[in-house]
Amino acid sequence: MSGREYLRYGGDTACLEIRTKNDVVLILDAGTGIRALGDELACQGREELTLLLSHFHWDHIQGLPFFKPLYNPALRLSLGASQGAQRDITRVLGQAFRPPVFPVPFAKLPAQVTTIGFKGDVLRLDSLVIRSIPISHPNRGLGFRIEEGGRSLVYLTDNELSLRHRGGGVFEDYAAFCKGADLLIHDAEYTPEEYPQRRGWGHSHFADAARLANVAGVGALGLFHHNQARTDQAEDELLERCRELLPNSGGPRCVALAQGWEMELSG
């Protein structure tokens, strides 16, 4: 959403940039947030990037056609996606990049795109070690745990902790995957009061995200995938309620992720 009530948390859909200690860039998801990131990366003259997609729902890929580096013939993009087989990535994105919905076919993008079939194996990128877990979400997908030198970040969005979708895990699987992470970024789209009407839609309420953070003993919890209709004021109230579920000392700190938010994790 846009407008005065949405300025703080903004209107972009999912996109996260991670920089390694050697300044190598990893991007998670290609929601509309990737447009501004692409402009910045193009200005920096970067010619090597890696992008991992958690899944193919529109809000996670819709920024990709407007990602400026794709139109640079010198760019080498490694593109990894949730459902493994290389032809899946090409086939699905081929449907988003083709006339009449977009003028440039995926196969004719100027950048050199190679795909990574992610099948539960470990991916290494510069100093990063990346592991994945199936999310509990319609049409499946992956969450990622990214480690560098003993520090770790878990990105688990579009994940319904109270309901096991086909191919997904249960709460205990996610608790084990997140164990001891320095930062857990988790879907907290709903309040517990809203959730019963939206059960089965593939998203969690903040109390489940807080429970996961507590059980897994993470250092910080980042609430993510805010409901598109929630105003800044309502999101702040949700954040306050979520903080009340976390211990005051020694437990996870909690933030609601917003555009431009940054956190240093290197040791």
- The residues binding Zn ion (CB under 5 A) are 57, 59, 158
How far is it, in rounded angstroms, from Cα 6 to Cα 236? 11
- For Zn ion, the closer of residues 228 and 266 by Cβ is 228
Quote the least distance from Cβ 43 to Zn ion, whole Å.
Answer: 28
Cα–Cα distance for residue pair 254/187, rounded to 1 Å: 13
Min. distance of Cβ 135 from Zn ion in angstroms?
8
Element (H, E) at 155: strand 151-156
Q: Is the dihedral of CA 126, 128, 133, 136 positive or negative?
A: negative
* Residue with Cβ nearer Zn ion (182 or 224): 224
Smallest gap from residue 224 Cβ to Zn ion (A): 9
Looking at the Cβ atoms of 158 and 182, the one nearer to Zn ion is 158
- Minimum CB separation of residue 225 from Zn ion in Å reads 6
Residue 19: Cβ within 10 Å count = 13
- Prior bond to 105 cis, omega within 30? no
Cβ proximity to Zn ion: between 59 and 160 the closer is: 59
Within 8 A by CB and 6+ apart from 155, the residues are 16, 28, 54, 143, 144, 145, 146, 185
Environment class of residue 140 by beta-carbon count within 10 Å: exposed (0-12), middle (13-18) or buried (19+)?
Answer: middle
Min dist CB 92 to Zn ion, Å, is 13
Nearer to Zn ion, 46 or 57 (CB): 57
